Structure 1
Amino acid sequence: MFTSQGPTLRELAEQALTSVERGYDLLAPKFDHTPFRTPDRFLDATAAVLSRLGPFDAGLDVCCGTGAGLRALRTVCRAQVTGVDFSAGMLATAADQDRTRRAAEPSERNGDPGPEVHWVRGDALALPFAGAFDLAVSFGAFGHFLPAERPALFASVHRALRPGGVFAFPMGAPSPVTSPLHWALLGFDTVMRVRNRLRRPPFVMYYRTFPLGEVRADLEAAGFAVELYPLEEFGRRPDGSPRCRLVVGRRRD
């Protein structure tokens, strides 16, 4: 699962036994060499759908980590993109990587510097923005929020958006009970629940606490009109339903 540049098993154990924030501070330098970094195909599929829903001026990546999601935002936002995360280590790595990318791509931009990039340390449950963005995205972060926290999370994003602004994120279909992945994720969640009962501070990271029906209801309660877009790049299940969707909530006022 990990390259030789990724964290060792001992390092992962150390990170899992601390808090979420401290764990990601420790993991940050090696995060992009793990399977936890959102694959580019998810980012590109998301950007393809968003390009049809724009244009957008200002975009926000909620729980941006090392900044992978800005790959999607930069292609659909004209003025500025902002990454927000509560881990100082992840933000520092994101900023370093963005500087390296910009230095390596001047000829490809043909003199166009692209949207301005900003990095902000903040709590997704209380984002330090009000009506500042046309678009918000998030990738792979929702397992860090308990179901009871979803209303506050979605309300926080809603406040950060301008009227009519879009909140988008990809969601895979649940694995069938007969799939090894189903049991692997169930086992992971079980281990994390036991860990959190026995040790403080808790490390909140679950894979099976974000079902589409409940998520859609919470988005609508927060003031979003919700639409689902199939990401056909990932194919369809035997029953014809998409294996992956882009959930798009548009702020109602």
Structure 2
Amino acid sequence: MFSPEGPSLRELAVQALSSVEHGYDLLAPKFDHTPFRTPDDILEAVAAALARLGPFADGLDLCCGTGAGIDVLTRVCRRSVTGVDFSAGMLDVAGRHAHPEGPRVHLVRGDARALPFTPAFDLVVSFGAFGHFLPRELPGLFRQVHSVLRPGGGFAFPVSAPPRPTSAWFWILLGFDTAMRVRNAVWRPPFVMYYRAFRLGSVLDELERAGFGTELHALPEFGRRADGSPRARLVVARRLS
């Protein structure tokens, strides 16, 4: 599951017993060698979809981690790219990965639930971060994103079709979420990381309540399921006013 450069079992155990912020500070140097990093095929598909929807001037990577989404934004934004994350360790790695060519890149330490920006962005993206927010936190998170977008700007993130109960991944993710809930019931501080708490229908409703108009774009690189539905989509939520 991990490459030789990835974290050891002991390091993962220490991270899992830490807070989310401190856990990611510890994991940051080896994060890109774990399955938790967004796969390159998803990043490439999103970059291609955004290129068709652009151009964009200024972009923000929400919960940027080590900067995989920043690389996507530098390909579709002309003027500037900003990454925000609350882990200093992840930002340190992202800074070492930033490319000097292309649009200016700024890294900011901050909490996505209280973004330190004015409406300065045409595009906000996020990759793999929503599992760190409880469902009750999503309305506030979406209002924060709305507040930093210019009117007409877009908030984009990929979503995969949920695995069916006949799939091994269904039971793997269910087991992971169950283990995390047990861990958080008996250990403090909590480590919020749930894979099955993000329900697309509820998320679309919350986005609309936050003042967005939503669009779903199939990512054709991942094909379709037997019922004809896309295996992966890009959600684009546009600020209406």
Do the two structures share a fold, i.e. TM-score over 0.5? yes
Superposition TM-score tier, normalisation by shorter sequence: over 0.9
Structure 1 position 185, deviation (Å): 0.2
Supply the distance in 2 between the matched residues of 1:178 and 1:71 (Cα, whole angstroms).
Answer: 36
Q: Identify the residue that residue 198 of structure 2 maps to in structure 1.
A: 210
RMSD between aligned residues: 0.7
Q: Which residues in structure 2 correspond to 1:60-209 (within 5 Å)?
A: 60-98=60-98, 101-102=99-100, 113-209=101-197
> Is residue 10 from structure 1 mapped to residue 27 from structure 2 by the alignment?
no
- What letter corresponds to residue 185 of structure 2 in structure 1? R
Supply the distance in 1 between the matched residues of 2:3 and 2:54 (Cα, whole angstroms).
Answer: 37
TM-score by length of 2: 0.99
Three-state SS of the structure 2 residue aligned to 1:60 is strand
Structure 1 runs of 4+ with >3 Å offset: none
> Is residue 56 from structure 1 mapped to residue 44 from structure 2 by the alignment?
no
Deviations 1:108-162 (A, max 9, x none): xxxxx31000000000011111211000000000000000000001000110101
Supply the distance in 1 between the matched residues of 2:133 and 2:156 (Cα, whole angstroms).
Answer: 17
TM-score by length of 1: 0.94
Three-state SS of the structure 1 residue aligned to 2:71 is helix
Supply the distance in 2 between the matched residues of 1:37 and 1:71 (Cα, whole angstroms).
Answer: 13
Three-state SS of the structure 2 residue aligned to 1:209 is coil
Supply the distance in 1 between the matched residues of 2:18 and 2:233 (Cα, whole angstroms).
Answer: 33
> Is residue 39 from structure 1 mapped to residue 45 from structure 2 by the alignment?
no
Structure 1 position 39, deviation (Å): 1.1
Return the match for 1:229 from 206, 213, 217: 217
Three-state SS of the structure 2 residue aligned to 1:177 is coil
Three-state SS of the structure 2 residue aligned to 1:69 is helix
Structure 1 position 53, deviation (Å): 1.4
- What letter corresponds to residue 53 of structure 1 in structure 2? L
Supply the distance in 2 between the matched residues of 1:121 and 1:81 (Cα, whole angstroms).
Answer: 14
Q: Identify the residue that residue 107 of structure 1 maps to in structure 2.
A: none
How many percent identity over aligned positions? 68
Structure 1 position 19, deviation (Å): 0.1
Three-state SS of the structure 2 residue aligned to 1:58 is strand
Q: Which runs of 5+ in 1 are unaligned?
A: 103-112
Supply the distance in 2 between the matched residues of 1:17 and 1:192 (Cα, whole angstroms).
Answer: 10
Supply the distance in 1 between the matched residues of 2:105 and 2:71 (Cα, whole angstroms).
Answer: 11
Three-state SS of the structure 2 residue aligned to 1:129 is coil
Deviations 1:212-236 (A, max 9, x none): 1001001111111000000010111
Structure 1 position 52, deviation (Å): 1.6
Supply the distance in 1 between the matched residues of 2:142 and 2:118 (Cα, whole angstroms).
Answer: 13
Q: Which runs of 5+ in 2 are unaligned?
A: none
Three-state SS of the structure 1 residue aligned to 2:27 is helix
Deviations 1:84-125 (A, max 9, x none): 000000001110122xx54xxxxxxxxxx3100000000001
- What letter corresponds to residue 238 of structure 1 in structure 2? A
- What letter corresponds to residue 24 of structure 2 in structure 1? Y
Three-state SS of the structure 2 residue aligned to 1:36 is coil
